[in-house]
Amino acid sequence: MSETQDPSLTTEKPQPDPQPAKKTRRCNGKIAIGLLLILIAGVGAFSIYQYQQQRRSDAELASVKAALEAFQQQQSPFAESQENLKNALATLGEQQVKLDGRQRTLEEKWQETQQQRPNEWMLAEASYLLRMAGRKLWLEQDLATSIALLTDADGRLQAMADPSLIPLRKALAEDIASLKSAPNIDIEGLSLRVGILIDNLDQLKIKGSDPKRTAAPQSDEISEQISDWKDNLEKSAKNFAENFVTIRRRTSDVEALLSPEQSAYLLENLRLQLQLAQLNLQHQDQANFRDHLKKAQTWLQNYYEADDSTTQFMLKEIDALQQVEITAHYPVEFKSQPILEKVITERSQTPAR
């Protein structure tokens, strides 16, 4: 059975309007163009930025190169100096090697000498002690130290245990015995005693400078009273006797009292005499030592108060110092000195065995 179609049903559906699609395509194209322009602008900006950075980098690189070149120029003298220093160190190293070789050679020779002559150094020590003993004796007048040094020298020779040194030790024993028998003069003590005399000079008193006090004289006037006729007669007779004869007595060689200036000069001259005696004492000059003390003693006796305690002390001390023997008769040279020098010379010339 056929069915009749409804015209409404068979009528075609209306097509949609194509304009919205076209509009969409146009919008998409604009967006793409905008993005493309933005991309081009970004690429351009980036290129410009890169170009600026490249220029900055080139400028910095150029600055670094210039600084590096300047630094290299500055370092070139130091490099030369360093090279010269290396050469100098190399030369010093070569010289040090040579010196080390010489030192080893000398040490080997010294060891060989010590092995062959183990006691020779004791002879050198004994010679040194002997010279020091002579210096202490003749220059410093130190007898005790000189004896001690000679004894030490004999100890060195004894330690060598060499029978050939017996004559040397015998001469050394004679030198020690001669010094022990010599008088030991206390020069320092005597000098101090003279110094004490110098310190007491200011306490001396010139004769007549301090007269003794006397009782007040009675009045010589004649009284007008008749009852005093006896006293008046005695006073008249006394005045006549005193004015008729004048008696002066001198008990010393002092011509007159000294003025203050003369007293000062006398004191300084007395001080000088004692100082010269002290100097002669150090040089052991017996004659001049006694001569200066004698002058000081004479001046003390003639110009200063004899009953003063200071004057009496100084006169007594000067008299005692004049009796002291200050000249020591030491040997002119040691008997052992030439013998020791001869032994050292012979052993140095004889080859070691």
316-353 pLDDT, tens digit each: 999 999 988 887 777 888 999 999 999 888 887 765 55
Q: Does the structure show a pLDDT above 60 at 115?
A: no
> Smallest Cα–Cα separation from 303: which of 207, 211, 233, 212?
207
Q: How crowded is the C-beta side of 136, counted as CA atoms within 13 Å?
A: 16
| Per-residue tokens: 297 | 């003693």
Look at residue 127 in the predicted model and tell me its pLDDT.
92
Q: How far apart are CA 66 and CA 79, in angstroms?
A: 19
Band the pLDDT of 25: cuts 50, 70, 90. Answer: low
Look at residue 90 in the predicted model and tell me its pLDDT.
87
Asked if residue 131 is part of any domain, the answer here is yes
For residue 195, the domain's CATH number is 1.20.1440
Asked if residue 218 is part of any domain, the answer here is no
Q: How crowded is the C-beta side of 14, counted as CA atoms within 13 Å?
A: 3
Asked if residue 219 is part of any domain, the answer here is no
Band the pLDDT of 126: cuts 50, 70, 90. Answer: very high
Beta bridge partners of 304: 206
Look at residue 182 in the predicted model and tell me its pLDDT.
81
Asked if residue 101 is part of any domain, the answer here is no
pLDDT tens sequence across 209-235: 654 444 444 556 666 666 666 676 676
Q: Does the structure show a pLDDT above 70 at 185?
A: yes
pLDDT tens sequence across 290-311: 999 999 999 999 888 888 899 9
Asked if residue 252 is part of any domain, the answer here is no
Q: Does the structure show a pLDDT above 80 at 175?
A: yes
Total of domains in the chain: 2
Which range, 177-186, 242-251, 344-353, has the best average confidence (pLDDT)? 177-186
The secondary structure of 217-240 as a DSSP string is PPP-PPPS-GGGHHHHHHHHHHHH
Look at residue 218 in the predicted model and tell me its pLDDT.
53
Q: Which residue range(s) make up the domain with 128?
A: 120-184
Neighbours of 123 (CB within 10 A): 22
Asked if residue 158 is part of any domain, the answer here is yes
| Average pLDDT estimate for 62-77 | 78
Q: Indicate whether 179 and 126 sit together in one domain.
A: yes
- Please state, rounded to an integer, the average pLDDT across all residues of the chain: 78
Q: Indicate whether 178 and 201 sit together in one domain.
A: no
Asked if residue 299 is part of any domain, the answer here is yes
Q: Which residues of 130-253 form beta strands (DSSP E)?
A: none
Look at residue 212 in the predicted model and tell me its pLDDT.
46
Q: Indicate whether 309 and 200 sit together in one domain.
A: yes
Q: Indicate whether 196 and 299 sit together in one domain.
A: yes
Look at residue 257 in the predicted model and tell me its pLDDT.
53
Q: Indicate whether 142 and 195 sit together in one domain.
A: no
